[in-house]
Amino acid sequence: MAKNFTLDFVAGIADEGKMLREFLKQMEISKTALTDIKYNGGAISVNGQDVTVRYRLKADDRVKIKFPPEILSEGMKGEKIPLAILYEDEYVLVVNKPSGMNTIPSREHPVGSLANGLIGYYENNDISATTHIVTRLDRDTSGLVLIAKHSHVHHLLGKQQRSGGVHRSYEAFAEGIIEQDEGMIEAPIARKPDSIIERQVHADGQYACTIFKVAGRYGTFTHLHLQLKTGRTHQIRVHMSFIGHPLLGDTLYGGQKKIVTRQALHCRELFFIHPFFDKEMHFTASLPNDMQEVLEKKLYRKERR
């Protein structure tokens, strides 16, 4: 049976006389969450007594929020999939996702996703949680993924992400030699009209900004470090193709599979502020074997400048 996720707060002197609804808003409990609590099996209590959001607080009141149990989506099945978990606490997980794994199930790949593996992990360890993936990666992109264990935690991290508080940096191999040591690509991205998957640079698209720095130049490609100032779908892939240097292996955007068989893109670093511990969280994941082997092959010797 699913357990309830709970939060506890203590009202301060400045909260004296404040309506509970206002206090909870300050504590970043969303209107959607309050509606869910009211109608789907949650509860709000003060000093052990159930109350409504119209309750007027007194200093030192102890407020407890009991969220409704989360219901697993129909069709979402847990699977025993090995997960490279770099960090876990009662609120979040950080996982190093391999290439070739969907973040969530799709029509083409209904099983074997990170989400399926998470459900299986939760079931095996008696953890009451559903999947709330904060930072998704494409199927063939490897690297760090941030996961919330509850919808409210996802709400807090999503808000932090939208305000620029969640940072990710990437490593990639781009076709050809990029002469600039560093640069910024600002080009709006929109969905391609004849595709549900592919994106393109288009004047009517959403603003997108990618910053790159050259880590090395090799015989036929450039090794890059990249940071996203925005988080558009396929942003790095679209931007690199736009400047004439598609990622190695990224056939969707003009790359070739002569050296690697998937887009050579890896989420190397992840930074965020923990929403409950108010602590800076920083994680790194080194290049996976397929990308590391490309750098080590003498055929692709690094060029000296």
Ordered DSSP codes for 46-90: ETTEE--TTPBP-TT-EEEEEPPPP-PPTT---------EEEE-S
Pairing relationship of beta strands 43-46 and 221-228 according to DSSP bridges: unpaired
Q: How far apart are the first and last CA of the chain?
A: 63
61, 138, 250, 290: the catalytic one is: 138
Per DSSP (E only), the strands in the chain are 6-10, 43-46, 49-50, 62-66, 85-88, 92-97, 132-133, 142-148, 167-175, 182-186, 189-191, 199-201, 209-217, 221-228, 265-273, 280-284
CA atoms of 101 and 112, how far apart (whole Å)? 7
pLDDT at residue number 304: 52
Token representation of residue 203: 């004047």
Q: What torsion do the CA atoms of 113, 118, 119, 123 make, to the nearest 10 degrees?
A: 140
Full pLDDT tens readout for the chain, 305 residues: 456 799 999 999 999 999 999 999 999 999 999 999 999 989 999 999 999 999 999 999 999 999 998 888 777 899 999 999 999 999 999 999 999 999 998 888 889 999 999 999 999 999 888 899 999 999 999 999 999 999 999 999 999 999 989 999 999 999 999 999 999 999 999 999 989 899 999 999 999 999 999 999 998 999 999 999 988 999 999 999 999 999 999 999 999 999 999 999 999 999 999 999 999 999 999 999 999 999 987 445 555 55
Active site residue 290: no
CA atoms of 58 and 12, how far apart (whole Å)? 8
pLDDT at residue number 283: 98
CA atoms of 19 and 55, how far apart (whole Å)? 6
pLDDT at residue number 300: 52
CA atoms of 90 and 109, how far apart (whole Å)? 29
CA atoms of 179 and 245, how far apart (whole Å)? 11
Dihedral sign (CA 235, 232, 209, 132): negative
pTM: 0.91
pLDDT at residue number 1: 43
CA atoms of 64 and 72, how far apart (whole Å)? 24
CA atoms of 30 and 211, how far apart (whole Å)? 33
pLDDT at residue number 150: 94
Helix (H) and strand (E) counts for the chain? 6, 16
CA atoms of 26 and 252, how far apart (whole Å)? 45
